[in-house]
Amino acid sequence: MTVLNSLGDALSFAFGMFWEILWALILGFGLSAIVQAVVSKREMRRLLPDDSAGTLAIATGLGAASSSCSYAAVALARSLFRKGANFTAAMAFQFASTNLVVELGIILALLIGWQFTAGEFVGGPIMIGLMVVLFRRFLRPELVEEARRQADRGVLGRMEGHAEMDMSITEGGSIWRRLRSPRGFTAISNYFVMDWGAVWMDIAGGLLIAGALAAWVPNSFWRGLFLEHHGALTTLWGPLIGPLVAILSFVCSIGNVPLAAVLWNGGISFGGVLAFIFADLIILPILNIYRKYYGRRTMLFLLAMFYSAMAAAGLIVDLLFKALSLEPTGARHAKVTDAGVSWNYTTILNIVFLMLAAVLLLRYFRRGGGIAMLRMMSKPMPEPHAEGHPAG
């Protein structure tokens, strides 16, 4: 009975967190779909020819406007690189695509607090800047050529089709006119459903892992691991251990936010939470994809550079927010064990946004690609379709 009670507690915590963030997920994916409906992947490739400051700023902006799925971001970054984009710019795009998207910020604010949303959007550009500095210092041309040769082999990873499909509407007047058109509505519904299809396993996995840890692992374990109440040592240790926990968690994209909430309640530092969230691009499955995409040496190089940039960015933001008195203090009350279903504003918002999701789902299955397109998400696209896909 004790085992069943423990399992029930874990599932209850997981569902409570899911209910708390459901409306925000729908809102975030909806806004992302709107942006993607008017941003062409073909145009992305043309805009990333080098690693100049202007190009890197464009790469960051394009990444923030794209899907938050880590696997799709990694696949699209390779596609951009294979078709002429600069390697550093492609990696900057990849970082922004998973760390500067609106849905991530909303979920962070709901589960942990607005300071983490602010820290994420301040730390993301810092992390990209640090990565660029490290690349300029340590990335050798021969390693880039080795990576390009391996990339051109076209070894499959995950979400290849999702990364290649371009359903954006680039013609038909102003952005507002394009979005209001029937084709625009279909494109939005396509991106909305496909983005959910790309990340639902990560979201579900993150919620289940977070629920299990909240129910089964005592906070005393986390306090010992994170060296809570050790002053400067805690501040330094958090950003170093955070990415290591992320690597072993196997959860990426938005799915790692519930686990970040558990870690915060367990005593990890503010910078440690940020570094943990940044590290969704170095979890073990994605490291294996880097190996397939770019070769073993490049994978190890990316791991070292990314880890260094993520940990340093987390520490810098922690110290910055301390200096500005913005770091969260006092009791830690991330919504892990107290989230649940009750008649309040969360339930009302969930009902409203579930109705919106139903409208988009209906449009997708009536005018979009339906089940066939979802099945294509993990398959490489034939070259003629990679540059454009009918939006209905």
Answer for the pair 186, 365: CB distance below 8 angstroms, yes or no: no
Whole-angstrom Cα distance, residue 378 to residue 153?
17
**For residue 97, what are the contacts with CB-CB under 8 A and spacing of at least 6?**
63, 64, 66, 67, 68, 72, 73, 76, 77
Q: Write the DSSP symbol of residue 344.
A: S
Whole-angstrom Cα distance, residue 30 to residue 13?
26
Question: What does pTM read for this prediction?
Answer: 0.83
How many other β-carbons are positioned within 10 Å of the β-carbon of residue 117?
Answer: 18
Burial of 367 (0-12, 13-18, 19+ CB in 10 A): middle
Answer for the pair 276, 313: CB distance below 8 angstroms, yes or no: no
Q: Write the DSSP symbol of residue 376.
A: G
How many angstroms separate the first and last alpha carbons of the chain?
A: 53
Cα→Cα distances 40→32, 163, 167, 322, Å: 13, 12, 8, 40
What SS3 state is found at 368? Answer: coil
Residue with tokens 């066939």: 372
- The tens place of each residue's pLDDT in the chain, 392 residues long, gives 476 777 887 888 888 888 888 888 888 888 888 888 877 766 776 788 889 999 999 999 888 877 667 888 888 888 889 888 899 999 999 999 889 888 888 889 988 999 999 999 999 999 999 999 999 999 999 999 999 999 888 787 777 766 667 778 877 777 788 888 888 999 899 889 988 888 888 888 888 888 888 888 888 899 899 998 888 999 999 999 999 999 987 777 778 888 898 899 889 999 999 999 999 999 888 999 999 999 999 999 999 999 999 999 999 999 999 999 999 887 777 776 565 677 778 889 999 999 999 999 999 998 866 787 777 776 766 554 444 444 44
Which among 70, 71, 73 is positioned nearest to 59, based on CA atoms?
73
Domain boundaries, the chain: 8-386
